[in-house]
A and B are shown apart, each in its own frame.
Chain A
């Protein structure tokens, strides 16, 4: 514990880097997965191939994906973000699509019958009703990004993985412990916060709160 107390500033800095990496990954993941999900909900035959490809990407071991990206993007955060965004796609797109296709068809029919255009249907009906599933996907993607993100330290993307790698190389158990604690804190905290949002969205969809 001494290491953590003596180097609290440094650990906090790495914690911040890790959090930032996760947020950047989530941002770009959502930027891709939300339109992609809408697309494959409307063009049904794309669902199989798209989810299949995302599934294959998800099975590539993280270290090898990072290394594969180095010739193209060099070292640093860029290849790390690209790899983590690719991983997150499966979790996000799958949940988002399930959320969208499980919206009650009668509700959609009513919305169309009342003269909502497709944008109004999306923003006023489909999005809010599919939001709990999307948030569940965001939670899974955040947790997996935090976990796999530690390995990104190997390609100079920074973050709490640095402590783990350094600790392993120098046989410094204090460092490993500090890194693990910090990653766990980040993961548990994110999980708690996103769980809370998910719950809020669920009760709103069920129409049980004000």
Chain B
């Protein structure tokens, strides 16, 4: 679809910026940028970015292929078929739970060169949610996550289209096998996907201005962006689709569960009436399931809310929980094609988010930044300190901290984008939705283990397992000189921006143990550092 491709123009615009930013990029700025755009800075990625600048780094990332999920073949939906009596004890874990997928997610996040692709895929998976609580087959969820990896730098219209026809989404929100009305049985089309694709995946509840703030009516009230009739219109559009036929199986409505390839339509099960959608559009009666679906995706994709609604949430994922309306407007304009790229171009969108002046030089630093969500707390720590992990321990810790990867409690994700900041509900604090005294105490246990210098041993039931370990040898050596230790902690964990009181506290922490115990000195200073509000919140 050439109308969604205009990479050349975007590339030219980004290269033009790079001439300015490459020269000015010092290490603190590079590390701050990599906290926003990747799973955290490493020594190598910091040096790499400083050498070429932000815009060229983006181009490099756009060109890298996806680190994929591997070794997850199709299995029968029935675990008794896939793991018959006598199968390995790990058969169910590896084929009927998200364990292998979550583990590989951490491997890719820690080691994959395609950092930006993996980050945007994670971000999209937290907006267009399918949960492993219902879709427990890892091959099915891998196919779903591949939509985001493949379209990371494509067009949002394709994301919406592929998600709509994904059998994982079809099962999760009941579009698979959604039948036309049956008057005899008294059964109506299922409204689940119709409602949530509007409320959560594309336009939201309220009509928005370009800057993401709600439009108001003459009485000063926000204006709903759709009504129950529109939900029912889309519910009727989304009838007649079922799982793709199983390999070698017959093709009928309904097909049994199969999560390879897009869903397929059956004309006899598609409602042929007229359907009222958004913005006064009514689809005429008599259209096929396929024609109705393309028109419905276009109807949603072209709604003016999509740019500000999706754009603001992506800014929150990458940069700051409370972007200024002007920042949102610039990003939404980029989504709408202000740079000359097609509407929905993901490269233009990401460039606008990550290269915006507010991302590196906020006008209101007191409300800038965000609590790192648990996944990013863990990846930032391991990448900054050169930790190694096979993902086994990390996936379990993310779950304990309220973020089981790809498996939130509901379609509303682990936390809502407008979760009120404790202490100041006029601000958003999305990740605070899973941060409370209980999870904070768990975090203290996780960080204490990560920094104990021992590591977590390999899981012998996992092929190639190496465990998880942050080697503290280097820090032990540094701790002979507490001042040098604190400087290095400041450089690596705080991008050179820790406060004076924090550095003073770290210096004291580094001197609690006697000089004869440098490892204890290093551990104390590192643990205090990562438990500090300045580390938990990146800004």
A binds B: no
**Residues in chain A within 8 A of chain B (CB atoms):** none
Binding site for A on B (CB under 8 A): none
